[in-house]
Structure 1
Amino acid sequence: MRSFDYIVVGAGTAGCVLATRLSEDADASVLLLEAGTAFPPPLARDPLAWPALAGTEVDWRYTTVPQSGADRQQLPYPQGRVLGGSGEINGLTHVRGDPASYDAWDEAGAIGWTYESMLPFFMRSETTLGGDPAYRGQAGPVPVDPPATTDPLWEAFFTAAVEAGHHPNADSNGPNAEGTSWSEVTVRDGVRRGAAEAYLAPVAQRPNLTVLADAAAVRLVVDHGACRGVAYRVDGHTGVTYADREVLLAAGTIGSPRLLMLSGIGPGDHLREVGLPVVADLPGVGGNLQDHPRSQVAYAASRPVGDGTLARRPHVLARSGDGPPDLQLGFVAEPIHPRWMPGDEPGFSVVFALMSPDSRGTVRLRDPDPFEPPLIDPAFLTDDGDVARMVAGLRAAREVGDAPALADLRAGEEYPGAAVTSTAVLAQYVRDTATSSFDPVGTCRMGIDGAAVVDPTLRVHGIAGLRVADASVMPSIVSGNVNAPTLAIAERAASLIG
């Protein structure tokens, strides 16, 4: 059986970065394994078509377990199953979040992982047409800019946010993320440019890089405390390939802990419960799951809104209290009904999301079958403080939606309804309407304590030759969408390894 210097498991955002950077060394052979297809549907190229990709063949089609903090609802949990991973089916938004989000990692035991230490890797990953070159990359693979086209609707939303007290911010990916900014997207010439297109496609012909799609990793080969390789299923057959240097897990916040547990690396009690031998009792594997819960205030409009063009759109990063920014506001040119069901009537919505939830969930195995979906429990709104801050987010969204700039468009508040002002009723509305922002992180937490899964060099505690390098290593979720920090984590991982 052929061996490689490096095996990268998962060709999502992080995996594409790792495979590209590690194969820059012509003397190092790299295998990139991906369970999904190498050929995304044409819709994936269209920046406006991404909502139609959930539930298709390029989505794992996961759902959560019933959410005790959200009226026992089972929520959709899309994750990309294609070269490029979730970066091929997401909303293309490139937002780093507030620098304090990253400094919190170092404080939590991910020693040396601060905003200052991450900044070179943010810059290495991107190319922007503007911005301060002390903070913004000028020659990276991923193009990130606001669309050049403007639209009166989105301009009105920007003005409304400023009228509600959220100051203009010329670049939320610069030194300060707070305020009202134009969202940057991973688009160039009207076409999606995620990690698969930006990193992997230009180097796919390197002789030392092998990309194997439709190949689902089913188990890590671990011998005497060291990871030697990966077993995978392709065309109904199981193969094994070996790593002469390292195996790198980049299967994402759901896939990485799942593969660790299938390989006997995880919470010992859980592994024994599902009938798996315990290779390494690491209690933190699959724990610490975090995501951004979101809801919305929906308005009826006096006329149809939105023209379906790719135009620059605003977002807001704000504070619910005296701490760091923890609320994100966004805008949709549809009235969103509970739970995230677009209405047919003319309208718009102000979406609010909690960016630093205290609720913590889990990923667990259903049984030892590697082809059974895992049990995903984000534990949305199980912390009462999260509900209180979501109510603060709802009130902030209302202030924007009720601003003068939207007066000629606004025909009335549909959900929760302008007459609903009681904190208790608003809290119930939040529970009735909460959905995922599809930003899961944290299930292979980086740190030095007993609950950490990887150390600050991303090596799995107690297992030689194995690292994790994707969004799952974040000790805590950032106050922005997670694709940008995932790119930077993978860039930093490659620099640690190579």
Structure 2
Amino acid sequence: MTQSNELVSDYVIVGGGSAGAALAYRLSENPAVSVTLLEAGGSYRKFFFTVPLGGALAYDNPRYNWGEWAEPDATRGGQRDYWPRGKVLGGSSSINGQIFVRGNREDYDRWRLAGNPGWGWDDVLPYFKKLETSLAFGGEYHGKDGPVHVSPVCSPHPLAETFVQAAIQAGVPANPDLNGARQEGVAQNQVSQFNGRRDSTAWAYLDRARQRPNLNIVTGAMATRVLFEGLRAVGVEFRRGSALSTARARREVILSASAVGSAKLLMLSGIGPEAHLKDLGIPVLLNRPGVGSNLQDHCGPWMTWEMRQPTMNNQYNPFSLAKALLRWWRSKDGLMTMPGCESIAFVKSQPDLKEADAQIHFTPVGLEHQGSKHQIYKFASVSLIPNLGNPIGRGDVRLRSADPADAPLIRPALMDERDLPAFVGLIHLCRKIMESTPMREQVVREVSPGPAVSTEAEIVAYLKAKSLPHYHPVGTCKMGDDPAAVVDARCRVHGVNGLRVVDASIAPTLVNANTNAMAIMIGERAADLIKADAAL
């Protein structure tokens, strides 16, 4: 492998995804500050990163998706799962379902109470507003001039509103704005789209900043380790093609490589559980047992019903998809703008809770998951996908070897026994919604789990066999002041200097929401912390 020239800048950011793109944009606003952004993937300026439904084309494409496989999960009978992760500028925001929800007050106040001043709801709300241009809502809970456009679903299926009305009849409060004063309730979704186009962080942030002379975006650059002088981070070693290069940081190195990637890179750099690193022959710079631990993700089954009314399943054929693509090309609406789900109900698993702690996604398509593939049913169908917002289960990420090219060991524990009673209640609530008028009038039959699954024991068996990760991993570099914490409340890695982690991995606990909005907020807030520290 050849050695190429060294890059030098004030800040080196590893990962141009949801948090990293926002961070690069904000730090490079100051023309006196230079920023190098290293991204292992390539350009976002491609057709399928523009068409909202196009992200599905990258779902199992190793060129645009890290596509790792997790180890067997003992909490779900040894099930192995495919874990997609964006490998492109914009990261997972370039391939995700574009569902834009924040989480609720209790979620973030829990972060603050866990030893993270400045991360409570009142602290983070200004950053949610700062990042957003809301095209549907105004007032004190929404922004009007932020980089990310947040829109109503462009062309919702009629059953999306039917689901909302059925949920209300089943006792879920109506709540038109799920990102407003209160999260609990049901409504059609808010999505990160603009004029029928996916508004990933690559489009929202990097497309605006890529001509700045002080921002150097390097694609195809896979970071292999952080470079240190003593206990101070001074740069990043990375591979680009056959060349091994370095990016030196005059001020700081910042890891924004995801809950999997940032933990992996810290361990490759000698920061992590001492025994694990020694077993792999990696020199230990700092024994930090929390690195890679505390892995969390939402999970739940795809509950599916056959419907009388046509759904996306009826359009999943070459002729209909070609028509939909032509419609999108002409008017930027229709099927090609479909997000991951079209309506959401945020609900309480127990009535005495202050805030909702679970969510139910509604999507007008039924399918069977088969590893990294999806088998779309041939008949009209819809799915409800329940999950608990703050599950108890904790897994971890470890290295498979000392070779940076090797995929990490992802060891989830997604279905803790203590969560099962709440999950059973969610299954019953989903069925209650689908049995409410007017949804009941559209249902032909319950496909999954099906009427044969009725007792608590049968539902538990179904949950363990059919629940899947929802691709919201967090927590592996958790923020806090306890011995298991990896970073402090200013995102600085404990025990070393000049190194921060800024992405979903720092979240101490999951929020009751899809995590893309949360990750972007982390990038925005961390940018202000870094700027403030530089001014001292």
Per the normalisation by structure 1, the TM-score is 0.97
What is aligned with 2:40? 35
Residue 296, structure 1, aligned to residue 302, structure 2: yes
SS of equivalent residue, structure 1 residue 260: helix
Alpha-carbon displacement from aligned partner over 1:118-164 (angstroms, at most 9, x marks no partner): 01100110001242421101110000021344432211111111111
Instruction: Tell whether the 8 Å contact from 1:337 to 1:415 is kept in structure 2 after alignment.
Output: no
What is aligned with 1:111? 117
SS of equivalent residue, structure 1 residue 72: coil
Instruction: Tell whether the 8 Å contact from 1:23 to 1:208 is kept in structure 2 after alignment.
Output: yes
CA distance in 1 between counterparts of 2:306 and 2:155 reads 25
SS of equivalent residue, structure 2 residue 167: helix
Q: Equivalent of 1:491, from 505, 511, 524?
A: 524
SS of equivalent residue, structure 1 residue 490: helix
Residue 420, structure 1, aligned to residue 453, structure 2: yes
Q: Equivalent of 1:17, from 19, 22, 32?
A: 22
Instruction: Tell whether the 8 Å contact from 2:138 to 2:144 is kept in structure 1 after alignment.
Output: no
CA distance in 2 between counterparts of 1:338 and 1:35 reads 28
Residue 92, structure 1, aligned to residue 121, structure 2: no
CA distance in 1 between counterparts of 2:243 and 2:513 reads 41
Residue 335, structure 1, aligned to residue 366, structure 2: yes
CA distance in 1 between counterparts of 2:368 and 2:135 reads 37
Q: In the alignment, residue 343 of structure 2 is paired with which amino acid?
A: P
Residue 6, structure 1, aligned to residue 11, structure 2: yes
TM-superposed CA distance for 1:46, in Å, is 1.2
Alpha-carbon displacement from aligned partner over 1:178-199 (angstroms, at most 9, x marks no partner): 1002211111111111110010
CA distance in 2 between counterparts of 1:314 and 1:359 reads 26
TM-superposed CA distance for 1:42, in Å, is 1.4
Instruction: Tell whether the 8 Å contact from 2:365 to 2:381 is kept in structure 1 after alignment.
Output: yes
CA distance in 2 between counterparts of 1:478 and 1:305 reads 31
Structure 1 stretch displaced more, 465-474 or 233-242: 233-242
TM-superposed CA distance for 1:332, in Å, is 2.2
Q: In the alignment, residue 376 of structure 1 is paired with which amino acid?
A: I
Residue 364, structure 1, aligned to residue 398, structure 2: yes
What is aligned with 1:347? 381
CA distance in 2 between counterparts of 1:401 and 1:309 reads 26
CA distance in 1 between counterparts of 2:36 and 2:139 reads 34
> Structure 1 241/439 Cα, relative in aligned 2: closer, same or farther at 3 Å?
same
Residue 457, structure 1, aligned to residue 490, structure 2: yes
TM-superposed CA distance for 1:220, in Å, is 0.4
CA distance in 2 between counterparts of 1:419 and 1:373 reads 40
Q: In the alignment, residue 327 of structure 1 is paired with which amino acid?
A: A
What is aligned with 2:86? 80
What is aligned with 1:226? 232
Alpha-carbon displacement from aligned partner over 1:343-380 (angstroms, at most 9, x marks no partner): 22222121111211000010100000000000111211
TM-superposed CA distance for 1:400, in Å, is 1.1
Instruction: Tell whether the 8 Å contact from 1:50 to 1:90 is kept in structure 2 after alignment.
Output: yes
CA distance in 1 between counterparts of 2:169 and 2:155 reads 23
CA distance in 2 between counterparts of 1:466 and 1:405 reads 55
CA distance in 1 between counterparts of 2:72 and 2:46 reads 31
Q: In the alignment, residue 347 of structure 2 is paired with which amino acid?
A: A
Aligned residues with identical type, % of pairs: 38
Instruction: Tell whether the 8 Å contact from 2:400 to 2:408 is kept in structure 1 after alignment.
Output: yes
> Structure 1 349/261 Cα, relative in aligned 2: closer, same or farther at 3 Å?
same
Q: Equivalent of 2:346, from 317, 322, 335?
A: 317
CA distance in 2 between counterparts of 1:207 and 1:2 reads 14
Residue 174, structure 1, aligned to residue 180, structure 2: yes
TM-superposed CA distance for 1:417, in Å, is 1.6
Number of aligned residues: 497
What is aligned with 2:107? 101
CA distance in 1 between counterparts of 2:369 and 2:42 reads 33
Residue 408, structure 1, aligned to residue 441, structure 2: yes
Q: In the alignment, residue 116 of structure 1 is paired with which amino acid?
A: D
Instruction: Tell whether the 8 Å contact from 1:298 to 1:337 is kept in structure 2 after alignment.
Output: no
CA distance in 2 between counterparts of 1:119 and 1:341 reads 39
- Which structure 2 residues correspond to residues 106-255 of structure 1 after superposition, within 5 A? 106-255=112-261
Instruction: Tell whether the 8 Å contact from 1:336 to 1:342 is kept in structure 2 after alignment.
Output: yes
Structure 1 stretch displaced more, 171-180 or 40-49: 40-49
- Which structure 2 residues correspond to residues 387-402 of structure 1 after superposition, within 5 A? 387-402=420-435
CA distance in 2 between counterparts of 1:2 and 1:342 reads 47
Residue 71, structure 1, aligned to residue 77, structure 2: yes
Q: In the alignment, residue 519 of structure 2 is paired with which amino acid?
A: T
CA distance in 2 between counterparts of 1:337 and 1:3 reads 49
SS of equivalent residue, structure 2 residue 65: coil
CA distance in 2 between counterparts of 1:414 and 1:112 reads 46
SS of equivalent residue, structure 2 residue 206: helix
Instruction: Tell whether the 8 Å contact from 2:136 to 2:152 is kept in structure 1 after alignment.
Output: no
SS of equivalent residue, structure 2 residue 301: strand
What is aligned with 2:324? none
TM-superposed CA distance for 1:405, in Å, is 1.2
TM-superposed CA distance for 1:311, in Å, is 6.4
Structure 1 stretch displaced more, 458-467 or 414-423: 414-423
- Gapped regions of structure 1 (runs ≥ 5): none
> Structure 1 484/264 Cα, relative in aligned 2: closer, same or farther at 3 Å?
same
Instruction: Tell whether the 8 Å contact from 1:162 to 1:180 is kept in structure 2 after alignment.
Output: yes
- Gapped regions of structure 2 (runs ≥ 5): 1-5, 316-334, 532-536
SS of equivalent residue, structure 1 residue 145: strand
Alpha-carbon displacement from aligned partner over 1:420-469 (angstroms, at most 9, x marks no partner): 22101100000110101100001100000111000001100011000011
CA distance in 1 between counterparts of 2:7 and 2:304 reads 56
- Cα RMSD (Å) of the superposition? 1.5
CA distance in 2 between counterparts of 1:209 and 1:420 reads 56
CA distance in 1 between counterparts of 2:168 and 2:54 reads 29
> Structure 1 39/315 Cα, relative in aligned 2: closer, same or farther at 3 Å?
closer
Runs of 4+ with deviation above 6 angstroms: none
Structure 1 stretch displaced more, 337-346 or 19-28: 337-346
Per the normalisation by structure 2, the TM-score is 0.90
TM-superposed CA distance for 1:320, in Å, is 1.0
> Structure 1 468/299 Cα, relative in aligned 2: closer, same or farther at 3 Å?
same
Instruction: Tell whether the 8 Å contact from 2:51 to 2:337 is kept in structure 1 after alignment.
Output: no
Instruction: Tell whether the 8 Å contact from 1:99 to 1:175 is kept in structure 2 after alignment.
Output: no
Instruction: Tell whether the 8 Å contact from 1:38 to 1:214 is kept in structure 2 after alignment.
Output: no
TM-superposed CA distance for 1:39, in Å, is 4.2
